[in-house]
Amino acid sequence: MFAAWCLPLSEKRASKESMSKRLWQLGRLWCVGLALLTGAAAAQEASLPPAPPRDLVFPNLSLPGDEPPPEWARPLMERAENYFTLGARAFDANRSESAREYFNLALDVLLESPTGARAHPALNAYYRQLIERIRYYDLQMQQTEAGWGEQRFTPSPLDLLRDVDVSDADIAGVEVRGELDFTAVAATPEVRRFLAYFTRGGGRATIANGLRRSGRYLDIARRIFAEEGVPQDLVWLAQAESGWSPGALSPAAAYGIWQFIPSTGARFGLTQNAWIDERGGIEQPTRAAARYLKWLNRRFNGDWLLAMAAYNCGEGNVERALARSRYSDFWSLQRQGLLPRETQNYVPIILSMILIAKHPELYGFHNIPREAPLRYDVLPVTAAVDLRAVAGQSGVSLEVLRGYNPELLTCLAPANYRLRVPPGLRGGVQAALAAMQATPQNAGGAVRTRLARRKRP
């Protein structure tokens, strides 16, 4: 396009007329070039899909917070939100670099404003929510771009249980059987409804798949819950939260087997940076989940059902519900409709899943094959290494290394990382680590506010 602008302005027979003609042609070409540039930009923008409705992407998001923003903050938030929407469009159009640029611009609007992102509680609340929404997209871009192949994220089972349809006949035919180690079994209509759904309705596959995957992580979860003094039955929260999938991701940016959102994960010590997100790991988030449940149980005077409800919707929501009620138990809060709808279903879902998981044969699940328990050796990584090089030198496939270390967001294992390897393959990986002269990289810092650019390897 730009070569056309460089027309010769003299020729052997040049005259004033020809010069005028050339200038006229040049002007016309300039206009055409401008139109093409404008059209290309418009076409590029038009190629993006429409912005997703905010209430569909993040249905529970409240903007900008409990306290209305002042007038001077509204333009800042609107500009930031516009950039965020453009980033979400670019993401949906598989344009990761453009998405990151838009997301960075959204953050810059607040960070580089004279007032700053924390100048008002409402603005600060919006800023925190914006970061978590961007983090939701960034996690997916990291997984796709860092050599992991196709999208590894899976939906949380809870996202598929919002509207459960069970016939009255199926519910009437359900008998509540079995016991729990942390509360008396309550044969409430809600528990019977989900037992019917999981045994006679469309939920059988959810239970069967979860039971199969549980074999890989159940021993680890039980050991850690016992060490933390949490009832063993509560390990089955993972069945409802993620179906025992480390890659489960909800629209609210809850991630991993135990579905921690970024802020709660950070509260309980889970590292989240450009290389590692321990919410998607194995031992660390399991211990964090046990400690969170134990903390909630103490906060609600030893009531595990209220602790489970708070695990789902946050302790603040449960405390506000208790303050509005004359009662102090979960079932009363549920009957009064004082808890979020998902939480009203959450506890009955957990109770029914635990009963089935502990007594599968009583509920018609026979001979469900379980994945082999995860066993591994741990090797310290003293300097950052590329797992592709480790795989090439050790003979252990990259896919196996990835599966044993699901918290890694890229193919880089940072310094001071504890690398899990299959039993019996320790020697080859250890020799590869010792032989590799990896260049140290800054892979252990905290999450930067601006998103790092990552190229495809």
Digit-by-digit pLDDT tens for the chain (457 residues) are 333 333 332 333 334 344 444 434 444 443 434 343 334 334 334 444 344 334 333 333 344 445 677 788 788 888 889 888 898 888 888 888 888 888 888 877 876 666 665 567 777 778 767 876 776 676 666 555 544 333 345 666 676 666 676 777 778 888 899 999 999 888 899 999 999 999 987 788 889 989 999 999 999 999 999 999 999 999 999 998 999 999 888 877 889 999 999 889 999 999 998 789 999 999 999 999 999 999 999 999 999 999 999 999 999 999 999 999 999 999 999 999 999 988 999 999 999 999 999 999 999 999 999 999 999 999 999 988 999 999 999 999 999 999 999 999 888 899 899 999 999 999 999 999 998 844 444 443 333 334 444 332 2
Kindly report the length of the chain. Answer: 457
Q: What is the CA radius of gyration of the chain?
A: 28
Cα–chain-centroid distance for residue 106?
20
Q: Is 167 left (phi over 0), alpha (psi -120 to 50) or beta?
A: beta
**254: three-class secondary structure by DSSP:** coil
Cα distances (angstroms) measured from residue 185 to each of 330, 355, 358, 363: 13, 9, 13, 15
Strand ranges inside 196-303, DSSP E: none
Strand partners, 248: 154
Of 385, 382, 415, 152, give the one whose Cα is nearest residue 280.
Answer: 152
Which amino acid is residue 148, in one-letter code?
A: W
Distance (Å, whole) CA 256 – CA 321: 28
Q: pTM higher than 0.75, yes or no?
A: no
Backbone angles phi, psi at 264, to 5 degrees: -70, -40
Helix (H) or strand (E) holding 421: strand 417-421
